[in-house]
Structure 1
Amino acid sequence: MTVQQTSTPEPQVQLRRAFATFPTGVVAVCALDDEGPMGMAVNSFTSISLDPPLAAISVARTSTTWPALSTRARLGLSILSSAHGAVCRRLSSRDGDRFAGVDWHADQQRAVYVRDSALWLQCSVADRFDGGDHEIVLLEIHDVTTFPDVAPLVFHESRFRDLVDG
């Protein structure tokens, strides 16, 4: 086995590049407050358990959005579609209206979903764990809406890619 090493001055930069080799989906985590929708994009999402229904996300401790989102009774998670590259960039931005031009829907529990996504999950925070410079958030899933004909957005090597049937 050959291991290719890169000479990077900062171990975090090298590790970020290494992690980028693993393709991920992109999830919008959103809720409604008194001023309108709020949300952010995360690419660290995983299924945890079917019984009880649990998933997890990882959120940077530097996030200014997560503290407000984490207090909501319900969160809407939308697995973004391959057509949502611009939506992902908006939800990841630090400035401006993140929902400008985003077609969204709020349910009765004030969870917000991005329309035309591959999957909607209504969740609540079940627990939190230390994850170094991130917080690992365990989510209880209360409702699932699937859209099986929608291709998901894939993030790989720091850019969006399309899935190809092979």
Structure 2
Amino acid sequence: MSAETTAVVEQDALSAPDAATLRKVMGHFCTGVAVIAAHDGERPLGFACQSVVSVSLDPPYISFCPAKTSTSWPLLREAGELCINILAHDQKDVCSTFAVSGGDKFATVDWSPAGNGAPALGGALARIEATVELEHDAGDHTIVLARITDLTADADGRPLLFFKGGFGGFSE
């Protein structure tokens, strides 16, 4: 690497934003909210997630990014078969339930097994069944790539949205 290139790399490292600034600025990007769920054969498992994105139509892939501190993700990874539940505008309480660690998150939530056995949440705007295929290290998170095996949506619903640290809905 040339001295000029090294200087640019060092300057970029010094000008990297701090976590608070990054969170504040990225908070201006509105996202949907989902619950990633699986069943390990004994109990349902899940966590709230806002980093869900469609990746490919052919083959059909979806991606999401659990935090490395997640205690739920290793259990869901082991199960392998997932149901990504896209929350509706009136499911903020469901999001809050799945945003915390521990406890029986499914005790107060209506759910039934999806076709792949993973929990499909009642009232969800859409459900995407998928199989975990790949993971990639990404700083304090993991990028998960899953192959979509089935999906369904409620054409009349509205999404739960996350924006600037708060929840809201979509008005037409």
- TM-score between the two structures when normalised by the length of structure 1: 0.89
Instruction: Verify: 1:86 aligned to 2:96, yes or no.
Output: no
Quote the Cα distance in structure 2 between the aligned partners of 1:141 and 1:27: 15
Q: Out of 156, 166, 169, which is 1:149 matched to?
A: 156
> Where does residue 126 of structure 2 map in the other structure?
119
Alignment of 1:54-93 (within 5 A): 54-93=61-100
Q: Which SS does the other structure have where 1:150 is aligned?
A: coil
> Where does residue 50 of structure 1 map in the other structure?
57
Alignment of 1:15-26 (within 5 A): 15-26=22-33
- The answer for unaligned runs of 5 or more in structure 2 is 1-16
Q: Does structure 2 retain, via aligned residues, the 8 Å contact 1:128–1:137?
A: yes
Q: Out of 155, 161, 164, which is 2:168 matched to?
A: 161
Quote the Cα distance in structure 1 between the aligned partners of 2:150 and 2:115: 12
CA drift of 1:108 comes to 4.5
Quote the Cα distance in structure 2 between the aligned partners of 1:34 and 1:94: 20
Q: Which SS does the other structure have where 1:49 is aligned?
A: strand
Count how many residue pairs are aligned between Structure 1 and Structure 2: 156
Higher normalized helix content (fraction of residues): 2
Aligned-partner residue type, residue 128 of structure 1: E
Quote the Cα distance in structure 2 between the aligned partners of 1:72 and 1:34: 8
Q: Which SS does the other structure have where 2:79 is aligned?
A: coil
When the two chains are superposed, the root-mean-square deviation of aligned CA atoms in Å is 1.3
- The answer for unaligned runs of 5 or more in structure 1 is 1-9
Q: Does structure 1 retain, via aligned residues, the 8 Å contact 2:40–2:75?
A: no
Q: Out of 15, 18, 32, which is 2:39 matched to?
A: 32
CA drift of 1:53 comes to 0.3
Aligned-partner residue type, residue 139 of structure 2: G
Q: Which SS does the other structure have where 1:68 is aligned?
A: helix
- TM-score between the two structures when normalised by the length of structure 2: 0.86
Quote the Cα distance in structure 2 between the aligned partners of 1:99 and 1:31: 11
